[in-house]
Amino acid sequence: MRRLIHTALATAGLAIVMALGPALGTAAAQPAQLLKVGDFNAPIYVTSPPGDDRRLFVVERGGRIKVVRDGETLNERFLKIPDGVSTDGERGLLSMAFSPNYENNRRFYVFYTRASDGDLRVDEFKRRDGNRNQALARTQRHVIRIEHSRFPNHNGGQLQFGPDGYLYISTGDGGSGNDPLGSGQDVNSLLGKLLRIDPRQDGGDPYSSPRSNPFVGRSGQNEIFSYGLRNPHRFSFDRGGGALTIGDVGQDRAEEVNYLPPNSRGGANFGWVCFEGSQRNPAAPSSCNAPNHVPPAFEYAHDNGRCSITGGYIARSSSLGSLQGRYVYGDFCTGEIRSVAGTDDRDVGVGLDGYSLASFGEDARGCLYAVSIRGSVSRLAENPTAGDCAAP
């Protein structure tokens, strides 16, 4: 029997329904379209600097970043990771984030798995002064390294600056199945976590942890903001209020979206490995304990070919029509793009599938993009010639 749990998320202007079993509802009233931006070499993420309406930055898994300016892909790459990048398993150059003050300090950050050992790395670079289309590889500064040598999967991979100005980093549990490293519930490990740091150099230290982080001054790593995650490949902040949504890739039973309200103090335990979604994980030890477990805001079962969530964004662009205010996400296995919100208690398809969804992304205007690991990047729209994302 289908079980529905309604979770109100009023502070985000969104209520998400937790649904176990077949998807609910029908397709959106007006089918969405994918408007192709260009073809790339295994693209895995897109983003833009704050306030830059002309440029879209495309992250390629192999270690390069390309620039699309005014709709045209530039021949010259923005950056190639100097250290080299491992692409074994789920590894690669996985995302990037621009400093909130990028216009003045020219700093940005990249998340990648290092070629020599597969460890997770976040590094800082600066773009050229006077050239917005090229970074300076020689400005590379190592910010944080997390050991990840045993297994090539479950790297996490997202960087985002939050509304508070701090850098948030999602890390997987270290790989294999059922968390053999015990990372998810171990607050002395940086794996299986959402981290929050100030990435600027602090004296002799490459970064600092905000004093307001939940484990500062108590047992646990200072960098941890939330824990109990399996493979949070993508998360996002809602530009309409600051709520945070995390798409955490499941194992055998459920895919989940976790939620933190605006101005969250952190400390949430999302339950892995004791829980997969809202259900106890039968493969976890009987003694497995997840104190203060926070169930997902939304989850779906492995049915109809779905098996791996691609976390997305709460849509805010007027070009997205009926999708505005809904959480847009996808499934990597089916390539299907879907949306969910509790205003109509439906988890619905938007009429698009078969896309090999590696990621979604937003540009500076809030336009929403879908990224296929097979090579294409496209803008998602219901009204492609109208609204805030219409081509000039």
Classify 229 in phi/psi space as left (phi over 0), alpha (psi -120 to 50) or beta.
Answer: beta
pLDDT at 20 over 70: no
- Phi and psi angles of residue 319, each rounded to the nearest 5 degrees, phi first: -70, -10
Lowest-confidence region among 39-48, 128-137, 262-271, 380-389: 380-389
Enumerate residues 6+ apart whose C-beta is below 8 A from 375.
39, 40, 41, 42, 43
Residues 6+ apart with CB under 8 A from 38: 58, 68, 73, 376, 377
> What tens digit of pLDDT does each residue of 283-298 get?
998 899 999 999 999 9
Question: Which domains does the chain carry?
Answer: 3-381 (2.120.10.30)
Rounded to whole angstroms, the Cα distance separating 16 from 23 reads 13
State yes or no: pLDDT of 349 exceeds 50: yes
Q: Is the pLDDT of residue 6 over 60?
A: no
Q: Please, what's the b/e burial string for 16-32 (b: 16 or more CB within 10 A of its CB; e: otherwise)? A: bbbbbeebeeeebeeeb
Average pLDDT, stretch 176-183?
96
Residue 326, Ramachandran bin (φ over 0: left; ψ between -120 and 50: alpha; else beta)? beta
